[in-house]
Structure 1
Amino acid sequence: MGLFERMGQAIRAQVNSLIQENQDPEKLLEKAILEMEGELIQMRQALAAAVATQKRTERQRQQQEKAAQTWHERAQLALHHGNEELARQALNQWQTYQSQIAPLQTSLQQQTAIIQKLKKELLTIERKYAEMKAQKSLYLARLRSASASQKAQEIMGSLNSSQMGTIFEKLEAKVLEAESQADLIGYKDPLERQFQDLEGQKQIEAELLKLKQENLDG
């Protein structure tokens, strides 16, 4: 059930209660506005947390790239001084950092998509909230003129948006999908790991040969 669907049900239930008790509907509308303000605050906090996570991931990616570049340069330096074994060790470190860049880049792409979606839907909610406040007097007049619970439900139904609920359900599904993909990225089959180790050693030797050739050409 989406955010606005839950809020709509709660508001309609409160409308019925207030009408049955002959209470001032203004209290209900004020409460609904306050509740929506609370939801907006939570939504903004969630967006801020998502942005912070994205920035942290970007810093990690940059650090991995910088470290990989440093070890690659050290391998070149060691080979330039004729120390092939030291160059091989440096390339082993280079490969370790290099292998972390792709998963971080994938996470960044997922986080960016989620943040864009959150921003878009937050703007929609804020617009709905602004409309509610702007039309407060109109809603109050209509509520006060309502003579039955059914009529009040129809009026307050205009505050509900099934489309909003669908959007939030899709957003939640997108987050779950991103988390599942992240879990898959982190898992490695033992057999797969053995072959990756062999392939990694091959990459190191190939890079070492490349550096040797560059030294000869230089």
Structure 2
Amino acid sequence: MGIFSRTRDIFAANFTELLDRAEDPARMIRMIILEMEETLVEVRASAARSIADGKEMRRAISRLDELQNSWTEKAELALSKDREDLAKAALMERQKAADMADGLRAEIAVIEETLKSYEADIAKLQGKLREARARQNAIANRIESAVTRAKARELLNGGRTEDAFSRFDILERRADFAEGRAEALGMTGPKSLEEEIAELRASEKVDAELEALKASLKSKGA
């Protein structure tokens, strides 16, 4: 009766209402699933015991039927020997076996009805269990999504993002300084007076050597 009572409570359970009242919906639904799984195991175990009892009773009925046939033969034998008293006693034993067999058949009918109830309850429990597991997955996905959104908002609105961008500013300033230094190394300042005079002297010397080279080539050609 305890199993049937628990099963009825599960069938009547309104998951949405339970979850609305729960402080921790994920924990609540895990407890509901565990309760259903335990109840389903118990119902199946009870059904298995009822099936075993039914098989044992059918074997007993078969033995009782054989016993009735045996007592019938004995009654016929007694009558053939004009022993009506023995025949009557044999028929009384046959009736006892028949009554026992009828009692077992009545018990089997009860077991069969119980098994039908078990079968219906198992099907309903499995449906409720599928529903609970589906809700568990949905809740897990919602929690995971909420955590992800919270992390994203914390990253966008928190101090960590500002620190990261401030570090980017520092790195950009360092890059600007390095580029400026490289450009400065390639720069040349205005020439001094001495440098300009030295360049003129060097240019005059080159011009003189060039004229001498021309004169030499001209004399060789003549």
TM-score band w.r.t. shorter chain: 0.5 to 0.7
Query: Identity over aligned residues, as a percent?
Result: 22
1:156-171 residue pairs with structure 2 within 5 A?
none
Note closer, same or farther for the CA distance 1:32–1:14 as it changes in structure 2 (3 Å cut).
farther
Structure 1: distance between partners of 2:131 and 2:19: 22
Note closer, same or farther for the CA distance 1:43–1:124 as it changes in structure 2 (3 Å cut).
same
Alpha-carbon shift at residue 41 of structure 1 (Å): 0.9
Task: Name the structure 2 match of 1:12.
Answer: 18
Q: Which has the higher contact order (CA 8 A, sep 6+)?
A: 1
Task: Name the structure 2 match of 1:76.
Answer: 76
Q: Which structure has the larger Rg?
A: 2
Task: Name the structure 1 match of 2:87.
Answer: 87
Structure 2: distance between partners of 1:13 and 1:125: 19
Structure 1: distance between partners of 2:85 and 2:144: 86
Residue identity matched to 1:68: Q
1:65-214 residue pairs with structure 2 within 5 A?
65-141=65-141
Alpha-carbon shift at residue 134 of structure 1 (Å): 4.2
Alpha-carbon shift at residue 70 of structure 1 (Å): 1.0
Note closer, same or farther for the CA distance 1:14–1:81 as it changes in structure 2 (3 Å cut).
farther
1:3 counterpart = 2:16 = no
CA contact (8 A) 2:65 2:98 kept: yes
CA contact (8 A) 2:54 2:111 kept: yes
Structure 1: distance between partners of 2:143 and 2:12: 20
Alpha-carbon shift at residue 7 of structure 1 (Å): 5.7
Cα deviation 1:127-152 (Å, max 9, x = unaligned): 32134324532133457899xxxxxx
Structure 1: distance between partners of 2:55 and 2:134: 36
Question: Structure 1 regions of 5+ residues with no counterpart?
Answer: 19-24, 147-218
Compute the RMSD of aligned alpha carbons. Answer: 3.1
SS in 1 for 2:35: helix
Cα deviation 1:156-205 (Å, max 9, x = unaligned): xxxxxxxxxxxxxxxxxxxxxxxxxxxxxxxxxxxxxxxxxxxxxxxxxx
SS in 2 for 1:17: coil
CA contact (8 A) 2:43 2:122 kept: yes
The two structures have a TM-score, normalised by structure 1, of 0.52
1:19-38 residue pairs with structure 2 within 5 A?
25-38=25-38
Structure 1: distance between partners of 2:11 and 2:134: 21
Structure 2: distance between partners of 1:132 and 1:114: 26
Structure 2: distance between partners of 1:7 and 1:135: 14
Task: Name the structure 1 match of 2:52.
Answer: 52
Deviates more, 1:86-95 or 1:53-62: 53-62
Residue identity matched to 1:16: A
CA contact (8 A) 1:15 1:28 kept: no
The two structures have a TM-score, normalised by structure 2, of 0.51
